[in-house]
Amino acid sequence: MCEATTDGTGVAQAVPREATGTAVDPIELEPVDEVLVTTLVDNVYDALLPGEDRARRAPFTVGTAAAPQFDGGRTAVGLVAEHGFAALVTVRRGTGTTSTTTSVLFDTGLSPDAMITNADRLGVDLTQVQGVVLSHGHFDHAGGIAGLARRLGQRRMPMVVHPHAWTRRRLAVSGREPDELPTLSPRALAGEGFELVERREPSLLVDGCVLVTGEVDRTTEFERGMPPAHEAWTGGSWRHDPLVIDDQALVVHVRGRGLVVVTGCGHAGAVNIVRHALRLTGVRRLHALLGGLHLGGPAFEPVIPPTVAALTELAPALVVPGHCTGWRAQHALAAALPEAWVQGSSGTTFRLVA
């Protein structure tokens, strides 16, 4: 959709289509015994949220900072919340002395320092992460790369991205000057020491037990993508970019439970993403859905009822909508899935075990 076509191919690709039966190229996703998803950056930080078996909350205070207005010259600090998303996904395979643990970073937040600040306050050592996956090229998911690069120093780290993550985009709202969004630079990332792995197709990481979906099949009739104000540069003009074709999710199979799906913004549509993951892997159950579902604002609120209905039918054990989900969708999901819905917050670790 980011290139001008005259034969209707782009339009045809945007139309929802049937995707029945097993995938042509099924993915053998190795099951894991435990997955931990730690939200390093989200739009919300609530220090009063109670923990539970599935959700370990950060302490009320996670350190101190200089503050001369207090006796002793210091005050307590919490965690950073901003309009962005970053998650540390750690998988464990095996038990006891034979177990292995691997961590990957999924997105990096909006600002250069928020993710690093929160990781430090939580005691998370990002230098031990094995790689980075970007859900898509929007700047509120890639801004923290600068801070990560500083922390890594000379160490090289692989980064999985879709080739269209470098697309120039802007918001052209009627009655206002167009606002061009910050665009990722592959040359700059390579210069910072990241080993770029560009793939449109699904990718298996961590000895075959972490799946990056690649491009997601758009099969529902109601998840139609971004409104006309979201545009991409084709090389000669700005055109409506509804699909955000670089949108991809991260998937883990918890042994005996089902799939854990982590989304960045969910531009491909939450239901499209989940169905795509189930079909690719042949796993029949969705165990958990975490991350941004992009259901906030007037353009997306009409999509809430069919999305909630479809997710209710899938009956996940855990749903943690975050980032761009929006408060109306949060309320609807909490009402429809009261046992599964959990409020997200920067600093929360969600634990899912076989």
Confidence (pLDDT) at 97: 82
Q: Establish if 7 belongs to a structural domain.
A: no
Tell me, what's the pLDDT at 88?
A: 98
If one compares 1 and 152, the residue with the highest pLDDT of the two is 152
62 within a domain of the structure (yes/no): no
16 has pLDDT over 70: no
* pLDDT tens-place string over residues 184-240: 999 999 999 999 999 999 999 999 999 999 999 999 999 999 999 999 999 999 999
Is residue 40 included in any domain, yes or no?
A: yes
Q: How confident is the model at residue 11 (pLDDT cuts 50, 70, 90)?
A: very low
pLDDT-based confidence at residue 165 (cuts at 50, 70, 90)? very high
For residue 3, being part of any structural domain is answered with: no
Q: What is the mean pLDDT of residues 141-158?
A: 95
* Confidence at residue 13, expressed as pLDDT on a 0 to 100 scale: 42
Residue 324 domain boundaries: 24-56+79-353
Between 140 and 6, name the one with better pLDDT.
140
Domain-embedded: residue 130: yes
What's the pLDDT tens digit per position in 110-120? 999 999 999 99
Task: Answer whether residue 13 is part of any domain.
Answer: no
319-350: per-residue pLDDT in tens? 999 999 999 999 999 999 999 999 999 999 99
Query: What pLDDT is recorded for position 22?
Result: 62
pLDDT exceeds cutoff 60 at 157 = yes
In a domain, 63, yes or no: no
Our count of domains for the chain comes to: 1
Q: What is the pLDDT of residues 277-292, one digit of tens each?
A: 999 999 999 999 999 9
**pLDDT category, 1, cuts 50, 70, 90?**
very low
**At CA 296, angle to CA 212 and CA 132, rounded to 5?**
25
User: Domain containing 34 — which CATH number?
Assistant: 3.60.15.10
Banded model confidence at residue 58, pLDDT cuts 50, 70, 90: very high
pLDDT of 252 higher than 50: yes
Answer yes or no: is 177 within a domain: yes
